[in-house]
Amino acid sequence: MTYIAKPKINLPGQKRNELGLLQRDYEGSLSTLCAGCGHDSITAALVQALWEMSIAPEKLIKLSGIGCSSKTPAYFVSGAHGFNSVHGRMPSVATGAHAGNRDLICIGVSGDGDSLSIGFGQFGHAIRRNLNMLYLIENNGVYGLTKGQFSASADPGSTAKKGAPNMMQSINPVATAISMGASFVGRSFSGDREQLVSLIKAGIAHPGCALLDVISPCVTFNDHVGSTKSYAYTREHKHQATATDFVPAAEEITTQYGEGETVAVTLHDGSTIVLKKADPDLDPTKRSAALAYLERHRDQGQIPTGLLFIDEHWPEMHEIAGTAKKPLKQFRFEELSPGREALEKLQRRMR
Ligand SMILES: Cc1ncc(C[n+]2csc(CCOP(=O)(O)OP(=O)(O)O)c2C)c(N)n1
Ligand code: SF4
Ligand SMILES: [Mg+2]
């Protein structure tokens, strides 16, 4: 893939994080996406969240499939590991990468086409296995990269740029993920940086698969009247179900929250996710309640945002499978190789 390197100019007065790094150190190459594309705003939120969490670039692995959305890992944390995989196959590569080195923080960036069409099977299994990663779907209702065909997340009745309506039902990634056993499900909007940064941080800290569906308008093919994934439609119909605040392990949490009902969820590392229920109808710790809530708001034409469901106790895939905690690269070859005798025994069984 071609890329344009961003010049590293360190302006005076910029703040450094706990590692002594500038926000600039969390950027990548120059974006080649269309000006105004929602995906670029999500990249900016990732840069901010990773910098604020002081995540060392070499501790991060960025994974993606194919699409405009899947190009974006090139635009943040150039010092991290990365793998731009085949269309819809990001979760398989993430599974392998995390088995090889469970110390890595995995961020998978996908599109609605990548995850809900060709990669729907892979998406489902990453969720049900609770693969420890932040799984971001940059959802614009179209295949942006291949010139704007409807994707599986396009709502019935929404129209294409040239006016033709979509006649098929849509797949709602949030409701689908909750029904498939997801342990962390949130939704946000590329135009709501504050909410998005909190949800990204909470998703990274969550010890399991954190699915974030982010409505991310495609300005070139799906930002017109008649689209339900445009900037205007999303601003008008989004409905904040929970206000999410992420509190790192070392910080005091008792006095930060004002009035209103709050749910505090403590994660394994001692961090806390505090959810202020903007809508008292939602209990984000009850799967059936979250599903009923989503359906009710869908009937009302609303797009609920915030952290919609969390189960902080369900173990993640490699914990269940008991794969090696020590990164594979730290083993000596002899420790990993089964040896000639074991290989011959295996071959005898196959004859
Ligand atoms: C196996 C395979 N089939 C089809 C394609 C063509 N293709 C490239 S990107 C894409 C869809 C991308 O849509 P989405 O994941 O929603 O990303 P967006 O561009 O909208 O961000 C398709 C169908 C491909 N690259 N590989
Ligand atoms: S075609 Fe759409 S999704 Fe792709 S970069 Fe342009 S605005 Fe973004
Ligand atoms: Mg898309």
Q: How far is the CA of 145 from the centre of ligand 2 (A)?
A: 7
Distance 251 CA to ligand 3 centre (A): 37
Q: What pLDDT is recorded for position 252?
A: 61
| Interval 17-72: pLDDT, tens | 999 999 999 999 999 999 999 999 999 999 999 999 999 999 999 999 999 999 99
**Stretch 82-110: mean pLDDT:** 96
* 111 CB near ligand 1 (under 6 Å): yes
Residue 228 alpha carbon to ligand 1 centre in Å: 20
| pLDDT 10s digits, 160-173 | 998 899 999 999 99
Please state the three-class secondary structure of the chain as a single string: CCCECCCCCCCCCCCCCCCCCCHHHHECCECCCCCCCHHHHHHHHHHHHHHHCCCCHHHEEEEECCCHHHHHHHHECCCCEEEECCCCCHHHHHHHHHHHCCCCEEEEEEEHHHHHHHCHHHHHHHHHHCCCEEEEEEECCEECCCCCEECCCCCCCCECCCCCECCCCCCCHHHHHHHCCCCEEEEEECCCHHHHHHHHHHHHHCCCEEEEEEECCCCCCCCCCCCCCCHHHHHHHEEECEEEEEECCCCCCCCCCCCCCEEEEECCCCCEEEEEECCCCCCCCCHHHHHHHHHHHHHCCCEEEEEEEECCCCCCHHHHHCCCCCCHHHCCHHHHCCHHHHHHHHHHHHC
Separation of CA 282 and ligand 2 centre (Å): 34
**pLDDT over 70, % of the chain:** 96
For residue 212, pLDDT beyond 50: yes
75 lines ligand 2 (CB under 6 A): no
142 CB less than 6 Å from ligand 2?
A: no
Q: Is residue 171 lining ligand 1, measured as CB closer than 6 Å? A: no
Note the pLDDT of residue 258: 47
Q: Which atom of ligand 2 is nearest to the CA of 220?
A: 7
How many Å lie between the centroid of ligand 1 and the Cα of residue 218?
14
Atom of ligand 2 minimally distant from the CA of 33: 5
Position 197 pLDDT exceeds 80: yes
Per-chain mean pLDDT for the chain:
92
